[in-house]
Structure 1
Amino acid sequence: MQSAGTPLYYLPGGRDGKNRAAICDEASWAKNNYDPEAMNTSTDTPDCDEFTFNASYNSGGMPANLGGLNPVSSGSKCIQSYATKVDGKIHLRNLPGALTTFKEVCGRSAISGSQNRAAENTLWVGRSPGQVWGSPRARDGRFKGAPSTLEPTTLSGWCVR
């Protein structure tokens, strides 16, 4: 990702999901790109998971005229990946035909819905925005616990094929 050394900035409410909708903008994108082997159960459903988070000014879905730092016109401009299971562990892989340059300012992955919700719960449950982001004031909160840059060397499970 291009934002090396740049903090993630909290956006209260995340524009009510509009940033996520801009990145996960194609109907059934996750359902068309997921690996059934990476689902947790037979009732699990695929999710489109976006990076950076919906509730940030860094989200590719946040328009520049509203203070967005990395605006893109569509999720197709982001890293395109899917979760797959290899030797019992989940890894992210490029979608076939989607060459990742690691200069993209956003990413979207087709992943297990239950894993996506579990990750959200690990981050948010029982914690206020101030505890997660630092100061909850817009554009004044560094996200705690996430890398400020997304490089191939910091993604232990990233596989390019």
Structure 2
Amino acid sequence: MFPTVETLADQPFLSGLTDHQLSLLAPLTSRSMFHAGNRIFREGAPAEQFWLLTQGQVYLDTEVPGHDNFVLEKLRAPTVLGCSWLFAPYRWTFGAVAIDTTHALTFNGPLVRALFQSDPGLGSELTTRFLSVMGRRLHAARRRMADCQRATGHRRDL
């Protein structure tokens, strides 16, 4: 059974969408659960979905050759996870791992992209919301990397 329009309406990321728009998204949605330590997706792998975290926490990370993955940000529910499904070449630019038991609503990326073609207004609205999330996360990643540079005393000028 798909999550209901009411379930979707309760998600902050989808706040303000009409019942009609939510009814178009609901059939493209399922429920997921990730146990602590489970990798949700790996950097470079095909990106075919996104999630709205309803409970739990996730690390966004990036691969650093010869080292452990570098944590860019800790995401806490309620929030959106995954933006790479929206832009070609549809590959994850980061990785994600569950910190604790995490529940989410999972959206089928290719079907949502197809929906955007048939409903450009919805496509524009959600794309704008994803771009806002990406901007905030980029800023947070830059802050975290600057903090690491200060802590280690390393500076690299480009």
Identify which of structures 1 and 2 has the higher relative contact order when contacts are C-alpha pairs closer than 8 Å and 6+ apart.
Answer: 1
The normalised TM-score by structure 2 is 0.26
State TM-score, norm by structure 1.
0.26
Query: Which is greater in Rg?
Result: 2
